[in-house]
Structure 1
């Protein structure tokens, strides 16, 4: 049951003003949502009934009266049948309208499960509803458990899991649009795992007990079994044909598009692609590996795929009701449109406005993703030369510049040697980024290893500084891990224009300054230590309050890195 969904791309996706109200959208979207919710209500009732088998078969069987009272009534069965046909029909219709099968992972899983579930359910539905309506067969728990156990136990359990996973994915990516969801998500996650486990346990336990204690005769004749087998083959043939037609429609559109790509779309960074009129800008971008965010999967239920039209806005026509509603909700300017709704007919130039997660990108064109920003979890390091004014006071300019250059050269070399990226030099300070290409765990390890190298640099500089510098050379490092927006600022097209923005940068700078309070060399957040799976001894632990944050940040202040242990380090002598 495909409930309209989302995927987390940036904090902007969870802004309440960017989320559509429940039940809003176009009429196909509303039908898809409400039919999916009806099917989910049936599954929820059915699975809870299964779980009661843990107590006993009798409890399970008695509770089924209420389940069947609702869903096997004329009204209940009619609503359920219409919801199922509507949901599957709309899924096939939406699939056939696609111009590409390139999509996010969650969309692919939802689409695949959504097409596969009807195939798996056809035998079960034919045996229950089909035989019940055609031959007055009563699909009670005693009959169905006897049919399923033990030969069909594994298949039935897998079917239950697939249906539940499909439901939970849909609900999660739909509700994620709303602020209240983050508060209740832990409880929902526990429920989402516990119910299918209890349901499978319950029906298997009840079936096992029933087989051991009672000799149940299955009330299905050979004639009825033959009818059911023929019906399953026929219905599956129809289902397979509809799926094939939907996929064939995508292939035909794609083949035609190869012959008629006369539309030019320009993106930032000098990137230009050719396309065929008719597809949405989001579809065109995916076909050409251009990273455009899409939280709701192209349903005009969020604003994360919004783009600024730099040229050609007048040729795009007026926004649809669904698009206009979203744009009005966020107070967008006239030159801002939704990529999932815009269908270019003439050449246009656009700029995506929402950062895209780097880990979800691939392909040649994505090398230019930094032109409009990439959201990624990284480790940020700040290094500063302590008491620089005092050290250089009354010194010759040549000596001061020579010392500063030696420090910056050697410290930046230490950073690069461990895979870090030197973002910028700020006077006598250095800002560096780790994990852009390797991920947060490796980046955290790289940053801590770079800190070791910088400690050696500090000791070397102090021993070689010369008698003219009376004060010792002392460095301070601040290190924090978190999501940052990586983008090219000021110098598009140049690697030197790449920088990091966000709270993680401000926090790392704050930690570097905290060295003064603790008389330490390194102040590192617990997030970095945990990600690197590092061990620390001899460090001062503390909590600092950050502006705008309710929860204090746990830190470790270290005067020396002798007590730092990282994965892969050689064991020390006891």
Structure 2
């Protein structure tokens, strides 16, 4: 049996999702600058909040630790570094906000944006006290002084500020680090740290402040004139912050109003879905405005590649990729016509197909809820099963007997595939094509495929036992298994729920491996990629290499006579 009759689309070999996650891009220079400035601010907050936590022991412990904190951050270099980092981070955030064409965004991104606006507004009184009064009037912002000033009148707002600052930084760190495998392995440790630190910091802050309030032996060393200066500083500082935030939002509004009279272009998605849009916005923003789901793990920063799309119409009208986008596309060995939705800004009509599945909400239309409606790029295991010598077996047999044998074989074999979590793609005469790993990772898919092959071996033995005396030739099946990237999509049934199939080299290669059973006289021919992904152990098999059309490197395969010689891990 061959793969003729099954659609195929050549797909360039790309790194696995695990490999892609291990080498994320750093984005453009503005994103790198924003990241590094944010990391500097995070280190300061971590040091400051750790100092707060010592209030659980005593205020004196807080004071002793603050000596080291101030040695790092209150010298000319540390103070300048902190101020430059804060200004850089805030201004770049406002610049990025002003460039938006819509405020539609994922929930986590919106929360981080709102928290980012809240922090400078609420932080100004604290900065004015600890740095303004210190630099202008020689005030020493010790814990005894600051806790007495803040508690109890400003205790709630200060606690809220601490939680908002920490949450803002944790959201940013999570969506930066989640592209790295090490972070994924340590995610529970990271979660424990993310929860424990603000709890300890608040506990220390409140405990220390309450102790000083009960003692009532601290005299605040700030005069009325100095408090008046601080009030003026806060009003003027908040006016500047409010003005900058308002300007960034007004730019978005101004663009929207100008766009009402601007010419329109059409973006076409799979299934003949077309939306009208104004030039200037990124494809990701256009999709969000029109509730078309496109994945974006990094939030549109050209780091993760999950928003990649295949441009099938109007590619020549797009500007060439900039450095950040080009680096990501090179890293994933993207084919011609693949671009990042967060980076391209259509000026003419465009036709695109998203390549990565996306989570959807209950408000999403039925077609958009189905990731395969769009086409999904994913590593899967493809299986081909064939009934050997079917023509010879059925020669001179009654039609009823032939159909009964064929249906019994197809029913039992497809049942074995489904029982192990596989998806039966299609029946091709006396053959079956199936897909494994669609709902999990390649390793699990490979193990499921090997276990399904073992079940099909039992089906073959059962058919041999049950066949009638009119069938003189033995029942023999052959299976081919291969792992690789494929495009999974619903072909030829726009809007319908059926028609799901796999396209790509992995399909043709799996079909080729199935035919290799004739050469080796085996039951199963499986590629080394499947065995490695499944972490299986083969005790007895013929090891060989075959040349695959279009591939320079020979493919290593194992020809197996019985699945009893293959040890398949659980899971």
Deviation per CA, 1:440-481, whole angstroms, max 9, x where unpaired? xxxxxxxxxxxxxxxxxxxxxxxxxxxxxxxxxxxxxxxxxx
Q: 1:272 aligns with which of 274, 278, 282?
A: 274
Deviations 1:244-280 (A, max 9, x none): 2211211221233232242122221111222222111
Given that 2:493 and 2:499 are in contact with CA atoms closer than 8 Å, whether structure 1 keeps it comes out as yes
Contact 1:54 1:202 in 2 (8 A): yes
2:552 aligns with none
Question: Which whole-Å CA distance do the structure 2 matches of 1:121 and 1:491 have between them?
Answer: 58
Of 50, 53, 68, 1:51 maps to 53
Deviations 1:393-440 (CA, angstroms, capped at 9, x unpaired): xx99889999999xx99xxxxxxxxxxx999899999x999xx9xxxx
Which of 79, 86, 89 is residue 87 of structure 1 equivalent to? 89
* Aligned-partner Cα distance in 2 for 1:488–1:334: 20
Q: CA deviation at 1:212?
A: 2.8
CA contact (8 A) 2:360 2:369 kept: no
Residue number among 322, 340, 343 corresponding to 2:342 in the alignment: 340
1:236 Cα deviation (Å)?
1.4
Partner residue in 2 for 1:209: 211
Q: Is the 8 A contact 2:305 2:329 kept in 1?
A: yes
Stretches of structure 2 lacking an aligned partner (at least 5 in a row): 1-14, 379-396, 412-422, 440-485, 504-530, 537-566
**Contact persistence 2:265–2:349 (CA under 8 A):** yes
Change (3 A) 1:367 1:213: closer
* d(CA) in 1 for partners of 2:213, 2:66: 19
In 2: Cα distance, 1:155 partner to 1:499 partner? 56
State how far apart, in whole Å, the 1-side matches of 2:131 and 2:259 are: 44
Hey, what's the Cα distance between the residues in 2 that align with 1:209 and 1:346? 67
Q: TM-score, normalised by structure 2?
A: 0.67
Which of 166, 180, 185 is equivalent to 2:168? 166
Asked if residue 12 in structure 1 is aligned to residue 14 in structure 2, the reply is no
Q: Does 1:548 align with 2:533?
A: yes
Match of residue 100 from structure 1 = 102
CA distance, structure 1, for counterparts of residue 569 and residue 230 of structure 2: 64
**Distance (whole Å) between structure 2 residues aligned to residue 495 and residue 258 of structure 1:** 37
| Equivalent residues of 2:41, 2:86 under 8 A apart | yes
C-alpha distance in 2 between matches for 1:240 and 1:195: 30
Cα deviation code 1:88-107 (max 9, x no counterpart): 11111100110011111221
TM-score by length of 1: 0.66
Are 1:263 and 2:254 matched, yes or no?
Answer: no
Contact 2:313 2:352 in 1 (8 A): yes
Match status 1:245 vs 2:250: no
In structure 2, the CA distance between the partners of 1:49 and 1:549, relative to structure 1 (3 Å rule), is farther
What is the Cα-based RMSD across aligned positions, in Å? Answer: 5.0
| Cα contact 2:372–2:490 (8 A) shared by 1 | no
Contact 2:149 2:220 in 1 (8 A): yes
Aligned counterpart, 2:3: none
The answer for the alignment partner of 2:551 in structure 1 is none
Change (3 A) 1:81 1:59: same
Query: CA, structure 1 residues 403+216, in 2 after alignment: closer, same or farther (shift >3 Å)?
Result: farther
Tell me what 1:358 maps to.
Answer: 359
Q: CA deviation at 1:333?
A: 2.7
CA distance in structure 2 between the aligned counterparts of 1:188 and 1:367, rounded to whole angstroms:
32
Instruction: Measure, in 1, the Cα distance between the counterparts of 2:280 and 2:239.
Output: 32
Match for 1:232 among 213, 234, 252?
234
Counterparts of 1:87-236 in structure 2 under 5 Å?
Answer: 87-213=89-215, 215-236=217-238
